[in-house]
Structures are given as C-alpha cells and as structure tokens.
C-alpha cells in the first residue's frame, strides 16, 4: 500500500529488485494534511513556501506531482532504491520540476544528509515493512527533521484487521521460498494460494478478508505481491503501539484519514457510541475504535511538540482558506454513505454552496457575499463547508482567484511542463497519467481516453484531428471498451476517440480550466 519503502538494504531490510507500482496518493497532499490538523483543532503548518519530504517515495510520482502543483515550496523524495530515486529524478527533469530532488538513502543516513527542516514528512505504508530498529530510526529522524508544529503522516497495515490475513502471508512466504527473482517467487506464491482458494480451501471459504486480499493481489499484479507480502519484515501494527513510539520522540497523534473517522458520531454505530460514552482520552478512544471497526489500514497524522487544540483554530482555518472541488459541475454527490451514517448534502444552502464552489474556489467571506448565500451567515456556511469536506466533495485549494472565461473558439494549452510530459508518455496501464493542479495544490489521475482527448485539444488543429486519431489507432494497440464490449475495429475505435473529445469539451474542460490544468493560449 505504499509506493515503495526506503529502508536499509545491507541487512536485507527491504527487497529492491522489483520496482513498485506507479501511482499517485492524494492522502499525502500538504493541503489535505493541513485540513486534518485544522479540523481537529490544531494549527497547521503554512500552506505555501513550505518544506516537504516523502520517506519511501518509490518511483516518485506522488512527490513529483505535488512539487509540480506547489511550485513555491520545496520537496525531497527519499528511497533506498537507486532505481526508484533515478526514476523520480527523471520525472522531475523531464517535467521541468525544479523545486524537487530525490535521494537514494537508507533512513539511518538521513540524519547525516544535507537536508532542511521540514513542515511535512510523509511515510506511506513504510511502518509495516521495516524492522523494529529501523522503524525507531525512521521515527527519530522524522522527529529531528520536523519543524516545531510540523506534521508527520504515517500509513500502515493495522491490527486487529490484519490478524485474519496473517496466515495468508505466512502461506505465501513459504510458497515463495527458494531461488528466483522477486517476481518469480511472487508468481509461485500467488499460484499456490489461488489454487487453494479455487479448490474450496476452508480458510478462504470462511475468511472473507483473505478472499478480498487474494482478489486485490490478482488485480494489482506481481510487483504488488512482492512489496506487500514478501518482504523479510512484515509487521501489522496496533495503533496504541505506534502512538507510544511516536510520543517517545515528541510526536503526538492529532487525527487521521478518512476525515469522518475523526468524529465519533460518524465513525461508530449508535450501539458502539453507547459503549464508548465514557472514553474521553483520544489515544484510548482510537485504540478501542480499531476493534470496533476491525481496522485494516490506518492513515494517521502526528504533530511535533505539544499543542493545545481549540474550536477557534478550526474556525480561523475555515475562514482563512479557499475551498473548491476537483469534480465537474453536477458530479458532487448529494449524499455520502458512511459505514454507519449517511451525510445529507441537500437543501437550499447546500444547493447554493455547491453551485458556487463548482464554479471556482472561494473563501467563506467570498461565499457570504453571493446572492444565494448572503442571508445564511458565515457560521452556517462554515458548518456546511465542514460537512462537504468530511464527505469528500470539497477540498482546500491553494488559491481562490477564478480563471478568466476563455473567448469562444479559444485555442488551449497545457501550461505546466510536468503535465505536458505526463500526456506525452507512452499509453500503458503501467504509466498512470497524473496531472498537477497549481490551483488545488494537488493532482489527479485521468484515463487514457481523457489523455488522448487533451492532446487532441491542445496539440492538434481541428482539421488535422481525424488523421491524427487514425494514425494513433494504427500505430498503438489501444484497448477501448464501450459498456461491456471491447472494441476491435480500428474505425470504431477512431469514432469513439472523436466522441470522447466532444464529451471532454462539453463536460470536463470547464473544470480543467478552473484547476489551471488547461488554459487559453495567449
């Protein structure tokens, strides 16, 4: 569940012979981490001009995209694999991302590296795959390199959820034993467990979690199996143990993702709320909550130093930030289903808020001046925004200035070199197309069809587009599907691609303009 852990290699801390899957993790966005802190009443680090480090950066896609989306801040990606670090540095070079560097380093060497102090340090999944000694080293280094009030994000396989799957991992380790590359060993292991499941083994028949994990392995492929299951150190963690280790280095738990888990009335069932009524300590609550939810994976945020939390801090953050959405107009859900409750986002106030935020990022003060919201008052707008944020329909943005409306018949460009590089890469399931938004301060993954449509819109004159599409279909075997049907005929593929461009212009283009991913050509 990580892009690739950066750990020691001399004592076989982590296997590095198989590059990890390329992906983008939006959880690592500085804007989202600031939101976690603020909603829990803690003062977040600055939203601009900050220093950011990802430990275990893998191929570097997340760090590179975030650096491209936050050009005024400084980013460092660290991974033990020289191949990963070189790939990430190549992304930065080809994408013109000058505020980023990658280092191939063991965690134990970070303290001696020439690094600044950081406002944000992230480690996606790393805690689950390192030895206790290396885990303690990573925590100590993070504590030493964070600025006071800086945030440390850690995600990890959690207990008690993973207890039901530990036998599956043990079986795979035994099946993978012996010679061969990581991929070869993973194939042996996956073949064994697949055969057992297909043969009706009672472990799988009576263990839905194991069946789900097997489906995930089959879907994500052998590199995922190598990194998730076949590492020499594999340690699902109890939250309480992690929180105590962090506290020993001056790092204190303040919140988690997804956001609804920070609110007991949203995280727990009514019956569970009764059981938890007398639990007021946050650490004790989180520890017990994991049993109530049978937690498999935690995404936690820690802060350096003791800091009091207050509702006023949350209010000040909501008043000072701009909010918007990555979703197209009409795509914002009017209800968000949580495990034990459904958030209703209906009524005149939500109607006006959603319409305003769909059109561009705005602050609470700007929203309060709009005709449809003028009588609501900032307090009600603030609370409704909080619900939209918890429901994942709205996000904090880096700026609130809306782009100028393009003239009719405008010709468009992709302003960021990083995004142009992403669109130009070979179309493949192994190459995600991650586009950075300098307006949102984060990034998004788009489909191959959307990428082709964007290239047509920004690189090809209208009259030349039919020939360009035919040439693309002829030279590159694209797998296209309409509904449940795969397309084989080249002419039909060309027709679908042309229709996709029309759909992008009609539906997707306004949001891409709003996010600064596309802009009218000067």
Instruction: Please classify residue 400 by burial: count the beta carbons closer than 10 Å to its beta carbon, then call 0-12 exposed, 13-18 middle and 19+ buried.
Output: middle
Q: How would residue 123 be classed by pLDDT, with cut points 50, 70 and 90?
A: very high
Give the tens place of pLDDT for each residue, 181-232. 888 899 999 999 999 999 999 999 989 989 998 999 998 888 888 877 887 7
Taking residue 438's Cβ as centre, other Cβ atoms within 10 Å add up to 20
Q: Give pLDDT, residue 128.
A: 87
Q: Give pLDDT, residue 7.
A: 37
CA distance 293 to 272: 10
Give the tens place of pLDDT for each residue, 377-428. 999 999 999 999 999 999 999 876 555 566 666 789 999 999 999 999 988 7
CA distance 7 to 102: 15
The pLDDT mean for the chain works out to 90
**pLDDT(35) > 60:** yes
Among the listed residues 464, 389, 504, the one whose alpha carbon sits nearest the alpha carbon of residue 40: 389
CA distance 65 to 438: 10
Which three-class secondary structure state does DSSP give residue 313?
helix
Give the tens place of pLDDT for each residue, 272-329. 999 999 999 999 999 999 999 999 999 999 999 999 999 999 999 999 999 999 998 7
Q: Are 103 and 113 in contact (CB under 8 A)?
A: yes
Taking the alpha carbons at both ends of the chain, their separation in whole angstroms is 42
Residues of the chain with CATH 3.90.930: 321-397
More confident residue, 16 or 147: 147
Q: Give pLDDT, residue 25.
A: 95
Among the listed residues 395, 390, 377, 387, the one whose alpha carbon sits nearest the alpha carbon of residue 346: 387
Residues of the chain with CATH 3.40.50.150: 26-157+236-304
Taking residue 166's Cβ as centre, other Cβ atoms within 10 Å add up to 14
Q: Give pLDDT, residue 4.
A: 39
For 79, which DSSP code? E
- Residues facing residue 444 across a β-bridge: 435
Query: Would you state the structure tokens that stand for residue 405, as one six-digit string?
Result: 């409306």
Q: Are 367 and 333 in contact (CB under 8 A)?
A: no
CA distance 90 to 428: 18
Query: Would you state the structure tokens that stand for residue 99, as one six-digit string?
Result: 């505020």
Give the tens place of pLDDT for each residue, 71-106. 999 999 999 889 999 999 999 999 999 999 999 998
Q: Give pLDDT, residue 72.
A: 96
Query: Would you state the structure tokens that stand for residue 428, as one six-digit string?
Result: 């493949």
Which three-class secondary structure state does DSSP give residue 107?
helix
Q: Are 25 and 146 in contact (CB under 8 A)?
A: no
CA 483 to chain centre: 28
User: Which CATH fold would you assign to the domain 26-157+236-304?
Assistant: Rossmann fold (3.40.50)
Among the listed residues 159, 400, 475, the one whose alpha carbon sits nearest the alpha carbon of residue 296: 159
Q: Are 373 and 352 in contact (CB under 8 A)?
A: yes
Q: How would residue 443 be classed by pLDDT, with cut points 50, 70 and 90?
A: very high
**pLDDT(2) > 60:** no
| Gyration radius of the chain's alpha carbons | 24
Q: Give pLDDT, residue 329.
A: 73
Helix or strand (DSSP H, E) at 368: helix 364-368
Q: Give pLDDT, residue 366.
A: 94
**pLDDT(3) > 80:** no
Q: Which positions ≥6 away from 70 have C-beta within 8 Å?
A: 30, 48, 50, 52, 99, 398, 438, 441
Give the tens place of pLDDT for each residue, 351-365. 999 999 998 999 999
Place of tokens 């009335």: 265
Q: Give pLDDT, residue 1.
A: 37
Q: Would you tell me which CATH number, out of the four given (3.80.10, 1.10.390, 3.30.450, 3.90.930), belongs to the domain 321-397?
A: 3.90.930
Q: Are 470 and 489 in contact (CB under 8 A)?
A: no
Dihedral sign for Cα atoms in the order 256, 260, 261, 265: positive
Q: How would residue 13 be classed by pLDDT, with cut points 50, 70 and 90?
A: low
**pLDDT(154) > 90:** yes
Among the listed residues 316, 408, 325, 407, the one whose alpha carbon sits nearest the alpha carbon of residue 364: 316
CA distance 271 to 310: 28
């Amino acid at each position: 569940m990580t892009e690739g852990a950066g750990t020691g290699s001399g004592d076989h801390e982590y296997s590095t012979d198989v590059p990890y899957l390329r992906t983008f993790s939006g959880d690592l966005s500085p804007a989202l981490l600031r939101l976690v802190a603020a909603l829990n009443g803690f003062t977040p680090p600055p939203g601009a001009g900050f220093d950011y480090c990802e430990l275990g950066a893998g191929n570097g896609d997340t760090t590179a995209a975030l650096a491209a989306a936050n050009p005024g801040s400084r980013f460092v990606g660290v991974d033990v694999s020289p191949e990963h670090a070189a790939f990430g540095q190549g992304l930065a070079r080809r994408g013109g991302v000058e505020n980023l560097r990658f280092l191939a380093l063991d965690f134990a060497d970070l303290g001696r590296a020439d690094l600044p102090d950081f406002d944000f340090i992230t480690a996606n999944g790393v805690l689950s795959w390192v030895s206790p000694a290396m885990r303690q080293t990573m925590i100590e280094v993070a504590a030493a390199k964070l600025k006071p009030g800086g945030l440390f994000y850690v995600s990890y396989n959690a207990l008690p959820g993973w207890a039901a799957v530990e036998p599956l991992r043990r079986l795979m380790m035994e099946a993978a034993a012996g010679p061969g590359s990581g991929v070869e060993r993973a194939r042996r292991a996956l073949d064994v467990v697949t055969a057992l499941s297909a043969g009706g083994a009672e472990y799988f028949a009576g263990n839905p979690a194991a069946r789900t994990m097997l489906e995930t392995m089959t879907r994500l492929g052998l590199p995922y199996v190598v990194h998730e299951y076949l590492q020499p150190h594999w340690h699902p963690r109890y939250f309480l143990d992690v929180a105590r280790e962090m506290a020993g280095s001056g790092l204190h738990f303040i919140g988690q993702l997804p956001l609804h888990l920070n609110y007991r009335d949203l995280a727990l069932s009514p019956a569970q709320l009764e059981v938890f009524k007398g639990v007021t300590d946050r650490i004790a609550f989180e520890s017990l909550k994991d049993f109530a939810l049978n937690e498999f994976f935690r995404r936690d945020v820690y802060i350096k130093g003791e800091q009091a939390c207050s509702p006023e801090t949350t209010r000040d953050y909501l008043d000072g930030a701009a909010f918007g959405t990555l979703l197209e107009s009409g795509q914002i859900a009017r209800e968000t289903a949580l495990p034990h409750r459904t958030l209703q986002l209906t009524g005149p106030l939500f109607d006006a808020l959603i319409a305003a935020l769909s059109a561009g990022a705005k602050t609470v003060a700007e929203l309060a001046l709009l005709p449809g919201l003028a009588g609501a008052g900032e307090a009600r707008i603030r609370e409704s925004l909080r619900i939209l944020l918890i429901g994942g329909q709205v996000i904090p943005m880096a700026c609130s200035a809306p782009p100028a409306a393009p003239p009719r018949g405008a010709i468009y460009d992709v302003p960021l070199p990083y995004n142009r590089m992403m669109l130009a890469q070979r179309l493949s399931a192994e190459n995600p197309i991650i586009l950075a938004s300098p307006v949102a301060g984060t990034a998004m993954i788009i489909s191959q069809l959307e990428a082709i449509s964007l290239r047509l819109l920004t690189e090809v004159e209208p009259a030349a587009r039919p020939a360009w599409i035919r040439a693309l279909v002829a030279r590159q075997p694209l797998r296209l599907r309409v509904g449940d049907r795969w397309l084989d005929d080249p002419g039909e593929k060309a027709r679908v691609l042309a229709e996709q461009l029309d759909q992008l212009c009609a539906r997707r283009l306004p949001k891409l303009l709003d996010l600064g991913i596309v802009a009218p050509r000067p």
